[in-house]
Structure 1
Amino acid sequence: MSVDRPPLPPFTRETAIQKVRAAEDAWNTRDPERVALAYTEYSAWRNRSEFFQGRPAIVAFLTRKWNRELEYRLIKELWAFTGDRIAVRFAYEYHDDSGTWFRAYGNENWVFDAHGLMRARHASINDLPIAESARLFHWDRGGPRPAEHPGLSELGL
């Protein structure tokens, strides 16, 4: 039995934006167990060249990701929605263990079940090395992006 994770499909513009911001806030915690609860038990993922399925695989993936991508900060923005689907564009900044900073750009396509859990996530991502002085995402580590911090469009991304 699934627990509802509002907002539920079918999405309106307002509820799609709420869903996107909830995902952004969860990912910015960098807590793999918490993030995985937004996905169905057997959620199917494509992330770059990795294909996997299920919450345990999601937790393992996110754990590896955030052990490599240090000081991670993410911004997501609604691109399109219909019924049980949402498309987002996103960017995130991080540095590796050598101190090199990156900005990753990408798009995600999401499909939700009737309970508001994501049953499929397809992500395409590109990384660009940046100078630390070129960083645009500045807020407390491990927390949500403050309401006054600009989004992708406002930052010209």
Structure 2
Amino acid sequence: MPENDTGRRPPLPPFTEETARRKVRAAEDAWNTRDPQRVALAYTPDSRWRNRSESLTGRERIAAFLTRKWRRELDYRLVKELWAYGGDRIAVRFAYEWHDGAGRWYRSYGNENWEFDRNGLMAHRHASIDDLPISAEERLFHWPLGRRPDDHPGLTELGL
């Protein structure tokens, strides 16, 4: 998998509130592309993940995981929100909506803890996630697939 042009992913640690918020939005935007190769470039080549009950190491495994995820989680739309930050670490909370192949909708809620290297690549990601079945009428994320519009409410504004 090719490196990005510089091998750096600004903003770089140590994070301020402003740079942490930009890092969170950049991650949300990338994940909303549902492009496993692009998303994997934000992680160090040896990045370590825990996602639910699965542990992964390395970009290739991360990209393979994301490929499986987005084949199963259809019409995926994600919102992330900064929870805390300090030094080279950021904590986020998130929610995403998706449906399975049978058309059943879900809202998945979770928290992530991130640790970055000096180049702004994520070296560690720990995610805890719960899935809530919802009806199509309960959906809150209706923007066209891709980046969430800037004027779309975030988690706090939506009461999530």
What SS class does the counterpart of residue 76 from structure 1 fall into? strand
Given the alignment, which residue of 148, 151, 155 partners 2:154? 151
**Stretches (4+) displaced over 3 A:** none
CA offsets per residue over residues 36-69 of structure 1, 9 Å max, x none? 0000000000000000100000000000000000
- AA in 2 matched with 1:66: W
Structure 2 equivalent of residue 118 of structure 1: 122
How far 1:21 moved relative to its partner? Answer: 0.1
Instruction: Please tell me whether residue 9 in structure 1 is matched to residue 20 in structure 2.
Output: no
Paired AA for residue 84 in structure 1: D
Matched residue count:
156
* Paired AA for residue 79 in structure 2: I
Secondary structure of 1:153's counterpart equals: coil
Q: Is 1:42 aligned to residue 46 of structure 2?
A: yes
TM-score by length of 2: 0.96
Unaligned runs of 5+ in 2: none
Percent identity between the aligned chains? 72
Unpaired segments of 5 or more residues in structure 1? Answer: none
Of 59, 69, 72, the residue aligned with 1:55 is 59
Q: Is 1:28 aligned to residue 43 of structure 2?
A: no
Amino acid at match of 2:157: E
Q: Please give the alpha-carbon distance, in whole angstroms, between the structure 1 residues aligned to 2:75 and 2:134.
A: 14
CA RMSD of aligned residues (A): 0.9
1:135 counterpart = 2:135? no
